[in-house]
Amino acid sequence: MQELVSRLRQSASAKVTVIGLLVLILLIPLAMIRSVILDREQTGQAATTYIQQTWGGDQLLAGPVLVIPYDVVHTTNAGAVFNSRRHFHVLPESLDIDADVRAEIRSRGIFEVPVYTSNIKLRGKFPRPDLSQLKVAEDAIDWSGLFVAVGVTDGRAIAEIPALRLAGEVVRFEPGGNRVAGLPPQIVAPIGKLLQGADRLAALTFEIELALKGSRSLRFLPAGDTTSVALRSSWPAPSFSGNYLPESHEIDASGFSARWQVSSIGRTFPSHWTDESGGAVTAEQSSFGVDLYVPISIYRLTERAAKYGILFIGLTFVSYFLFEVVAAQRLHPLQYLLVGLANCVFYLLLISLAEHIGFGWSYLLSCIASAALIVAYSRTLLGGRGRALIMAAVLGLLYGFLYLTLNAETYAMLAGAIGLWAVLAAIMYLTRRIDWYRRPDVPG
The 10s digit of each residue's pLDDT in 158-169 is 888 888 898 778
Q: Report d(CA 404, CA 420) in Å as an integer.
A: 13
pLDDT tens per residue across span 343-377: 888 888 888 888 788 788 888 888 888 888 888 88
Query: Would residue 177 be called left, alpha or beta, if left means φ above 0 and alpha means ψ between -120 and 50 degrees?
Result: left
Most confident of 73-87, 189-203, 328-342: 328-342
pTM higher than the cut 0.75: no
Strands, sheet with 204-215, edge to edge from the N-terminal-most edge strand: 169-172, 163-166, 204-215, 111-126, 94-108, 226-233, 255-263, 248-252
C-alpha 303, offset from chain centre: 16
Sort strands 226-233 and 163-166 into parallel, antiparallel or unpaired.
Answer: unpaired
Q: Report d(CA 117, CA 102) in Å as an integer.
A: 5
Strands (E), 153-296: 163-166, 169-172, 174-177, 186-190, 204-215, 217-220, 226-233, 238-242, 248-252, 255-263, 272-274, 288-292
Among 289, 233, 235, CA closest to 100: 233
- Is the omega angle on the peptide bond into residue 64 within 30 degrees of 0, that is, cis? yes
Q: What mean pLDDT value characterizes the chain?
A: 80
Domains of the chain in sequence order: 8-45+298-430 (no CATH), 57-292 (2.60.40)
* Beta-bridge partners for 207: 123, 165
pLDDT tens per residue across span 220-257: 989 888 999 999 998 888 888 888 889 999 988 888 99
The whole-number average pLDDT for the span 308-335 is 78
Sort strands 94-108 and 226-233 into parallel, antiparallel or unpaired.
Answer: parallel
Handedness of CA 424, 299, 337, 320 (dihedral sign): positive
Are the C-beta atoms of residues 403 and 412 closer than 8 Å to each other?
no
Are the C-beta atoms of residues 260 and 246 closer than 8 Å to each other?
yes
Q: How many CB atoms lie within 10 A of CB 31?
A: 11
End-to-end CA distance of the chain: 16
